[in-house]
Structure 1
Amino acid sequence: MSGADRYAGFREFALARGPTLSRTAYLLVGDHQEAQDLLQESLAKTARHWRRVQTGGHPEAYVRTVMLNQLRSWRRRRRPTEVISEAVPDAASGDDLAGDTATRLTVACALATLPARQRAALYLRFYEDLSEVETARQLGCSVGTVKRHVHDALVRLRRHIPSTPPTAFEGVQPSEVDHV
């Protein structure tokens, strides 16, 4: 089998779904460069098994699973390089863009304090809008574990950003995540 046949459709998939998968990677790791590394490694692993993945019918879900597994692997091998401060900067109030940016940065900093599994559970449940069952399948755990991760993550986030109103992110489009 020629190399072109083996990867038929992969390039188109990567180009079409790349921006969405890039946002997924960013939301999982919280850093643009690390997100690009995660996506690149995940797509390379997916390409090696492309015929099987394409036959399965859910290539984007497969890539997300590869990203989650790759992230777990990185976390086991890497030591944390960031130092998390005790105090989260105050979010500016008002209708100005600086206030919105400050709120987003505050939330991003608070999300960075969460363990990877809790952040992944929040992402899959609320950003990807997956059910608890689908999230459990993606994370390879039980529905009860997903519920526990989401609950614990929300409790931690509320402690870090108690003054952020619940409507702080109404109307925020997924494409705006690239600008955080």
Structure 2
Amino acid sequence: MDFEEYASARGQELVRLGFTVSGDYQRAEDLAQIALMQAFRSWRKVQRADDPHTYVRRILINSYLSMTRRRSFTEAPAAEIDTDHTVPDPATDIVNSDDLWRALATLSARERVVLVLRYYQDMDDRTIADLLGIKPSSVRATASRALAALRKTRQSHRVDERLP
């Protein structure tokens, strides 16, 4: 498979992965573009990898983690939204989803990446460990700490129901 075919076939999947780890669509597009650009630079090396797609996903994850270390990356979530309504609001699901995104934003970049890879990408601990270059026990410990932090900072009952 040449680079153009790969980019066409997997580009949107990379954007989705970028969105789930960053929570920002524009940043997700940037992450996918960075990953594809770096993969293009060393396409022969990527093709020789056991799983080229895993190699490119690792580039994207490492780019995200690197990006979060920069001082300019830090953003504070907006103030809480008042959701105390006496009549059920049809937008409740949207608010609950927003609450979950806010709770995820309180996690460190590595914690968020581990949870996204585990629960959104449905990867096992060994695959996540290989992707991040850490031990499987570190993946489990990071996931445990992240879930504990999410439970501690939950803002509504609906957020709690979504947590494993």
Given the two structures, how large is their TM-score scaled by the length of structure 2? 0.85
* Match of residue 175 from structure 1: none
How far is 1:79 from its partner? 3.3
| Paired AA for residue 148 in structure 1 | A
SS of the aligned residue for 2:140 comes to helix
Structure 2 segments unaligned to the other structure (5+ residues):
none
How far is 1:163 from its partner? 1.2
Which of 44, 55, 66 is the equivalent residue of 2:48? Answer: 55
Q: Which has the higher mean CA deviation after the structures are superposed, 120-129 or 153-162? A: 153-162
Post-superposition Cα deviations, 1:58-87, rounded to whole Å, max 9, x if no partner, equal 222111100111122222233344224685
Structure 1 segments unaligned to the other structure (5+ residues):
1-7, 170-180
Post-superposition Cα deviations, 1:139-178, rounded to whole Å, max 9, x if no partner, equal 1111111111111111111122251266559xxxxxxxxx
How far is 1:56 from its partner? 2.1
Which of 130, 138, 148 is the equivalent residue of 1:145? Answer: 138
Post-superposition Cα deviations, 1:9-36, rounded to whole Å, max 9, x if no partner, equal 2111111111111110011111111111
Determine if the alignment matches structure 1 residue 67 to structure 2 residue 60.
yes
Given the two structures, how large is their TM-score scaled by the length of structure 1? 0.78
Quick check: 1:91–1:106 contact (8 Å CA) kept in 2? Answer: no
Matched residues in 2 for 1:107 and 1:45: separation? 32
Which of 154, 157, 161 is the equivalent residue of 1:163? Answer: 157
SS of the aligned residue for 2:107 comes to coil
* Match of residue 39 from structure 1: 32
* Match of residue 100 from structure 1: 93
Percent of paired sites with the same residue: 35
Post-superposition Cα deviations, 1:93-121, rounded to whole Å, max 9, x if no partner, equal 9583x121111111111111110000010
| Paired AA for residue 143 in structure 1 | P
Which of 67, 70, 82 is the equivalent residue of 2:75? Answer: 82
